[in-house]
Amino acid sequence: MVQGSFKRQVEVGRVVLINYGPDSGKLAVIVDIVDHNRALIDGPTTGVSRQAFPYRRLTLTRFIVKGLPRGAGQTVVKKYLEKNETIANWEKSAWAQKLTVRKVRAGLSDFDRFKVQKFKNQRRHAVAGTVAKATKTA
């Protein structure tokens, strides 16, 4: 297969992140390709129902479910996801961790944001002091 400049191809078994709609932020797997604008996705472990979804509302991840047959049913998709440990690998990725941090920060109260500000200030002060000592001795 010719890659070109694109690293992630739309293919059966590609794990996608939904970026728009009620299922936004959830993972799904491309089960079949409908046409040049839509793919049939299914997310049995994440709560995404089987549906045709436009590519512009999907973000392709680097994860692929190997050996997934085209048009596979929900139980087959679930079995392949568990066999390949795809969801666990996604949770370990930096992208997923960044999304969880964003979600946690969005849920902070005013006082929690104030405490974060104070902790950052303490950290900055401690780092600046040690850097000053290191430059003074060097």
SS3 50: strand
Indicate whether this model's pTM tops 0.75: yes
Token pair 């979600």 is found at 103
Integer Cα distance of 9 and 124 in angstroms: 43
User: In this structure, are residues 9 and 30 in contact, taking their beta carbons and an 8 Å threshold?
Assistant: no
pLDDT tens string, the chain, 138 residues long: the values are 566 778 889 999 999 999 999 999 999 999 999 999 999 999 999 999 999 999 999 999 999 999 999 999 999 999 999 999 999 999 999 999 999 999 999 999 999 999 999 999 999 999 999 999 999 987
Whole-number Å distance between alpha carbons of 74 and 58: 19
